[in-house]
Amino acid sequence: RKKFLEDKELSLTPSEELFDRSKMEDLIKRRFFYDQSFAIYGGITGQFDFGPMGCALKSNMIQLWRKYFIMHEQMLEVDCSILTPEPVLKASGHVERFADLMTKDVKTGECFRLDHLIKAHLEKIKSEKNTKADLKSEIEDILVKLDGMTADEMSGLMQRFDMKS
């Protein structure tokens, strides 16, 4: 699906390249707007360190956000902890089911969350014109229960609906 979307994006892109994202990202990293936290040790996904210009840009964005939401919309600002105590994670179910099931594309080596792939595949089947009403209803029920399914249940869905790379 990702490949399809990338190909579609390329087909809609003007033949004359107006913006090269990879060059922009390279420039931003070389000028140290940001970099992945602990990059020299392999990095941590989703965590970033901001350089001097990145700090200034981030500060300006926060100020604009505050100006709009707090001053203009008259909302109240709160600043909460970024650490979450274990009882909160237990109550929300994150401790028992902390890891998301992943699958790897054998051709590209790219990893995907299994529940997202199953959801996309089932929604595609549901949206097809020739799909019967009872199957659509069953798919809706599966989609509601998908977050709580075990690895075996998801494997069964993959076999039943013939899901492959």
The model's pLDDT over 30-60, given as tens digits with 9 standing for 90+, comes to: 999 999 899 888 888 889 999 999 999 999 9
User: Both 58 and 18 in a single domain?
Assistant: yes
Kindly tell me if the per-residue pLDDT of 96 is higher than 80: no
83 domain-assigned = no
Phi and psi based region of residue 46 (left: phi greater than 0; alpha: psi -120 to 50; beta: remaining): left
**Cβ-Cβ contacts under 8 Å for 103 (sequence gap 6 or more):** 111, 112, 113, 114, 117
Kindly tell me if the per-residue pLDDT of 148 is higher than 90: no
CA atoms within 13 A on the CB side of 42: 0
User: Both 61 and 123 in a single domain?
Assistant: no
Last residue of a domain, one of 31, 61, 77: 77
User: Both 73 and 116 in a single domain?
Assistant: no
Q: Report the run of H or E that residue 148 belongs to, with start and end.
A: none
Q: What average pLDDT is seen over the chain? A: 88
Comparing CA positions, the residue from 152, 158, 156 lying closest to residue 119 is: 158
Domain total of the chain: 2
Q: Per-residue pLDDT averaged across 129-158, rounded?
A: 90
Which residue segment(s) compose the domain that 68 sits in?
2-77
Phi and psi based region of residue 100 (left: phi greater than 0; alpha: psi -120 to 50; beta: remaining): beta
User: Both 67 and 28 in a single domain?
Assistant: yes
User: Both 34 and 68 in a single domain?
Assistant: yes
Distance CA(76)–CA(66), nearest Å, equals: 10
**pTM of the full structure:** 0.46
User: Both 72 and 107 in a single domain?
Assistant: no
- Give the CATH number of the domain where residue 109 resides: 3.30.40.230
Residue 49's beta-bridge partner residues?
A: 35
- Contact yes or no for 10/31 (Cβ under 8 A): no
Pairing of strands 48-50, 34-36: antiparallel
96 domain-assigned = no
User: Both 9 and 57 in a single domain?
Assistant: yes
